[in-house]
Amino acid sequence: MLDNDFDFKIISHISKFPKIEEPKLLEIFPDNNFSTKGRLKVLKERKFIDRFPKMRTIPDLTKKPNFYVITDLGKKVIQDYLLSSKKLKSENRRKFILDFLPVVISIIALLKSFEKELIYIWQQVTLLLK
């Protein structure tokens, strides 16, 4: 599972492309703001993304940029994250309604109980404003 929203943003951005270069990712998600290199390392260790070219024991003098691609497990994690996020929003909305509804009903009942007084006050205010 993803640790936080930054991981989700990074992995979902990677999933939008067949492959994306590491410098491009660092341009979109600067390392000093998002700790992108560390997050990429963790996502790769968890096998949510893969990196190409693979690390070699012999130094490569051409120094090609690294590309990241999303794995099937990474796609599953994105779907799970979106589903759990949707469920959480639904639960929060339900909780808000259940917490808010009794307050609204109480206010309506209070206003109804002082209906005559409120009408009288309103009439007096309108007379003063004329």
3-state SS, one letter per residue, for 59-125? CCCCCCCCEEEECHHHHHHHHHHHHHHHHHHHHHHHHHHHHHHHHHHHHHHHHHHCHHHHHHHHHHH
CATH classification at residue 34: 1.10.10.10
Give the neighbor-by-neighbor strand order of the sheet with 67-70: 20-21, 67-70, 49-52
Q: Are 25 and 40 in contact (CB under 8 A)?
A: yes
How many structural domains compose the chain?
1
Burial of 108: CB neighbours in 10 Å, binned 0-12, 13-18, 19+: exposed
Largest alpha-carbon pair distance within the chain? 93
Q: How many CB atoms lie within 10 A of CB 43?
A: 24
What parts of the chain have a pLDDT lower than 50?
none
**Which range marks the domain in which residue 30 is found?**
5-129
